[in-house]
Amino acid sequence: MHVHDYFDELTRRDWDTGADGTIRFAVVGVGGFARKAALPAIADADYAEATVLVTGSPERVGPAAEERGVEHVLTYEEYHDGAATDTYDAVYVATPNALHPEAIETAAVNGKAVISEKPLAATVEGAKRAVSVCEDADVPLMTAYRMQFDPVVRRLREFVGEGGIGDPLQLHGGFAFDVLGGSRGPDQWRLDADLAGGGALMDVGVYPLNTARYLLDADPVAVTATARGEGVFADVDERIAFQLEFPDGVTASFTAGFSGYPKSHLSVRGTDGHVELPDSAFGTEDPRRVAVSRGDVRAVVDGPETSEIREEFDYFAHAVLTGDDIGPDGEEGLRDVQVTAATYEAAETSERVEIRYS
Please identify, among 125, 146, 167, the residue that sits at the C-terminal boundary of a domain.
Answer: 146
Residue 274 lies in a domain: yes
pLDDT of 6 reads: 66
If you average pLDDT over every residue of the chain, what do you get?
94
Residue 18 lies in a domain: yes
CB 95 within 8 A of CB 189: no
Number of domains in the chain: 2
pTM of the predicted model as reported, rounded to 2 decimal places? 0.95
Range of the domain at 275: 149-306+328-354
Question: pLDDT-based confidence at 182, cuts 50/70/90?
Answer: confident
CATH number at residue 129: 3.40.50.720
The pLDDT of residue 1 is above 60: no
The pLDDT of residue 191 is above 60: yes
pLDDT of 167 reads: 98
**d(Cα 41, Cα 48) in Å, to the nearest integer?**
9
Shared domain check, 154 and 139: no
pLDDT of 287 reads: 81
The pLDDT of residue 309 is above 90: yes
Q: Which value, to the nearest 10 degrees, does the dihedral of the CA atoms of residues 335, 341, 344, 348 take?
A: -140
User: What CA–CA distances, in Å, run from 181 to 59, 98, 158, 185, 261?
Assistant: 26, 23, 37, 7, 11
Shared domain check, 101 and 37: yes
The pLDDT of residue 2 is above 80: no
pLDDT of 195 reads: 97
3-state SS class at 141? strand
**d(Cα 304, Cα 287) in Å, to the nearest integer?**
6
The pLDDT of residue 265 is above 80: yes
pLDDT of 7 reads: 67
pLDDT tens-digit profile of 280-295? 899 887 788 999 999 8
CATH number at residue 266: 3.30.360.10
Shared domain check, 295 and 334: yes
Quick one: average pLDDT of 71-94? 97
pLDDT of 283 reads: 87
| Number of residues that this document lists for the chain | 358
Shared domain check, 138 and 248: no
Q: At what angle do helices 124-137 and 100-109 cross, to 10 degrees?
A: 10
